[in-house]
Amino acid sequence: MSRRAKISRKTKETNISVEVNIDGKGNYKIDTGIGFLNHMLEQLSKHSCIDLIVKAKGDTHIDLHHTTEDTGIAIGEALKKAAKKFVGIKRYASAMIPMDETLTRVALDVSNRPYLIWKVKLKVEKLGEMDTELFKEWFQAFSQAAGITLHVENIYGDNSHHIIESCYKGLARSLRTALEIDPKIKGLIPSTKGSL
């Protein structure tokens, strides 16, 4: 079963195309027009082993909000489409990610019940050109579109770059495990309801 998907999302504010291959090797080609977001999505692809192609154009002359949020939506939609109704997956996963002085915990349930818990505080208002408040918006948009219950908690850390990068790497490692095919339930939905 090929777990690949392509989606396009076009609004008056953004024009985004995304391709994902869940069973890839972490190859990526990312162009959002936002340098720091590109860097984070590269981390997401590399550490999840999900091949990811993202091309986004947005109204960045206004600010970076729409492009950031809509990129999260588009990647989430593509991932959900590629996951083929979540048949045979492990479903749950978590990761503890150290990055120098920082430690972040990410836990998720690929449940088709989207929810975000975000316990991340940053000491600066910008990373690169990005307002740091936009990272919560990206994770919220992604979890909603992908149908994932997602808990992100920075336990401690000083450097805001390290904190955010550990959040994306934690998401990546958790997705890598949760979306693996479980040989014990191959072909089945991991739920007593019979559907996610």
Could you write out the DSSP letters of every residue in 124-173? -SEETTEETTHHHHHHHHHHHHHTEEEEEEEEE-S-HHHHHHHHHHHHHH
133-146 b/e with 16+ CB inside 10 Å = b? ebbebbbbbbbbbb
What confidence tens digit (pLDDT) does each residue in 102-123 have? 999 999 999 999 999 999 999 9
- Res 175 pLDDT > 90: yes
Q: Which domains does the chain have, with CATH numbers?
A: 4-185 (3.30.230.40)
72-89 b/e with 16+ CB inside 10 Å = b? bbbbbbbbbbbbeebbbb
Q: What is the mean pLDDT of residues 163-192?
A: 94
C-beta separation of 109 from 190 below 8 A: no
Q: What is the pLDDT of residue 190?
A: 84
- For the chain, the residue count is 196
130 falls in which pLDDT band (50, 70, 90)?
A: very high
Q: What is the mean pLDDT of the chain?
A: 96
Q: What are the Cα distances from residue 30, in Å, to 36, 131, 167, 182?
A: 11, 20, 18, 30
Instruction: Say which amino acid occupies 173.
Output: R
Beta-bridge partners for 96 = 105
Start-to-end CA distance of the chain, whole Å, equals: 19
C-beta separation of 56 from 16 below 8 A: yes
Q: What is the mean pLDDT of residues 51-63?
A: 96
Q: What is the mean pLDDT of residues 177-183?
A: 96
CA 118 – CA 100 distance, rounded (Å):
21
- Res 23 pLDDT > 90: yes
C-beta separation of 16 from 10 below 8 A: yes
Instruction: Identify the residue whose tokens are 């949760």.
Output: 178
Q: Which two tokens stand for residue 117?
A: 């818990």
C-beta separation of 175 from 109 below 8 A: no
